[in-house]
Amino acid sequence: MAPDSLASTTPPTLSTTADAASASPGSLGVPGGTPQLSRTLKPRHLSMIAIAGVIGAGLFVGSGAAIKEAGPGILVAYAAAGFVVILVMRMLGEMAAASPETGSFSAYADRALGRWAGFSIGWLYAWFWIIVLGIEATAGAAIVHRWVPGVDQWVWALVLMVLLTLTNVASVKSFGEFEFWFASIKVAAIVVFLLLGVVAILGLMPGVPAPGLSNLTGQGGFFPNGSGAVLGGVLVVVFSFFGAEIATIAAGESENPVDAVRKAVRSTVWRILIFYIGSIAVVVTVLPWDAASVTKSPYVAAIELYGIPGAGTIMDIIVLTSVLSCLNSGLYTASRMLFSLAVRGDAPKAWTHISKRGVPRSAVLASTVVGFLTVGLNYLAPDTVFLFLVNTSGAIALFVWLVIAVSQLILRRRLSPEQTRALSLKMWLFPYLTWFAIASILALLVGMLVIEKTRESLLLSVLLAAVLVTVGVLRYRKRPLPVA
């Protein structure tokens, strides 16, 4: 555990576990002090990862389906989903600031619920990001293939996977640098988009009449498909926020993990307000929500409205950047979770091997191998095997958030009043908002069950989770809970 963390004030339930024991001030180590993760991520790396960690291709492309679902009322859906994410990040931040660890919520679940819980949610989370590698590599390859059609799409998918694997294997600093510039491009693109949107809304853009409120209240009103469609829209948009927790995982390899966690968590509110709600508000204000161009690609439609030439190419570049960012961070996150699981004895011991540069190369390569397999399946059997694998990860985001909320509820209640006061970051209105978050996540799971198009994904995710929980319970039924 980092020397500047709350080791002296937190009880055994919030102290570090095996993956942080015996760590030197500049590393995260394991018992015996042999494997040590390098703490070379700079504050600017963590800041940009925190700012743009939840901005993916889903915002630029997938938001069109959400707008079609609920019309301008999708703003309510984004606000509701964003509020839940803010609460979850605050709870995770409380635990991570007290005990920054590579295993993050998986390690906290170990202490709060038992080893079976940390085992199960850790493997589910790693599985989610490994599946994402196949999805994003294919999406990125499709964009590059449009530019260079002479090269087969699967070749580009392979090139992208190899490129980002080399980045992650080289050093954690190279991962941070790539993610910093990827995130910077995304942030710059959205800021420019917002500024142009404000200019257009105010009627200051030549050739673009001020829209007023016509697009918000016309075409059927603010809720053209009824309030029920907004609830369905929440299920569409909520998963685009998944990934905000990456900053707390990466914080374990930063120079000052506690400070990095606090900054990442506190920036979540304005990130969601500006980048998500703000940019979607611009789209539904300047364009009719039911326009075909909005459904296809809302941001391209808005850029074309501004009269900017090459809107499609510009958006392709931005989406490709988002895809590469997701590949980069997904491979990093999956490997760190596999490393943490291996350190705790829940994955092959070989994955604890650390290179001289402080990178868990074995864990990175293990994630990459499965990632390559998913890419291959996406080309060989896209509508059968690959679709089945994707559906098994459909509800994992909600499972992770639920585990975070329950873990925080349990661990916080174990603290004495003195220990609670010593926390550098606290959940608001505990335990009321914690219970509200739990109830909201459960409601979203029920919604996935009720809505036909998400039911299969939920059931397959539950099946996978049930298998892992069963294995975890059988594995640890006779073993005691970890102690400090």
- Please check the confidence at residue 30 and state whether its pLDDT lies above 50: no
415: left (phi over 0), alpha (psi -120 to 50) or beta: beta
pLDDT level of residue 19 (50, 70, 90 thresholds): very low
- CATH number for the domain formed by residue range(s) 43-473: 1.20.1740.10
Q: Rounded to an integer, what distance in angstroms lies between the CA atom of residue 221 and that of residue 290?
A: 11
Q: What is the model's pLDDT at position 54?
A: 63
Cα separation, 412 vs 398, whole angstroms: 21
Given pLDDT bands bounded at 50, 70 and 90, which one contains residue 6? very low
How many other C-beta atoms can be found within 10 angstroms of the C-beta atom of residue 180? 19
Six-digit token string for 164: 């980002």
Q: What is the maximal distance between C-alpha atoms in the chain?
A: 73
Q: How far is CA 162 from CA 127, 328, 332, in A?
A: 19, 11, 14
Q: What is the mean pLDDT of the chain?
A: 84
- Give the Cα separation of 408 and 413 in Å (integer): 8
- What pLDDT was estimated at residue 79? 92
- The predicted model gives 235-247 an average pLDDT of 82
Q: Is the distance from CB of 305 to CB of 311 less than 8 angstroms? A: no
- Alpha-helical regions (H) of 114-218: 115-147, 153-170, 172-201, 214-217
Predicted confidence at residue 458, as pLDDT, reads: 92
32-41, 203-212, 376-385 — which one is most confidently predicted on average? 203-212
**Contacts for 419-423: CB closer than 8 Å, 24+ residues apart:** 419/9, 419/10, 419/11, 419/14, 422/6, 422/9, 422/10, 423/6, 423/94, 423/97, 423/98
Angle between helices 396-413 and 115-147 (to 10 degrees): 140
Cβ(88)–Cβ(437) below 8 Å: yes
- Domain boundaries defined on the chain: 43-473
Q: Give the confidence band of 479 by pLDDT, cuts at 50, 70, 90.
A: low
Is the pLDDT reported for residue 435 higher than 90? Answer: yes
Of residues 107 and 257, which shows the higher confidence score? 107
Q: Which residue has the higher pLDDT, 24 or 113?
A: 113
What is the model's pTM?
Answer: 0.87
Q: Which residue has the higher pLDDT, 126 or 265?
A: 126
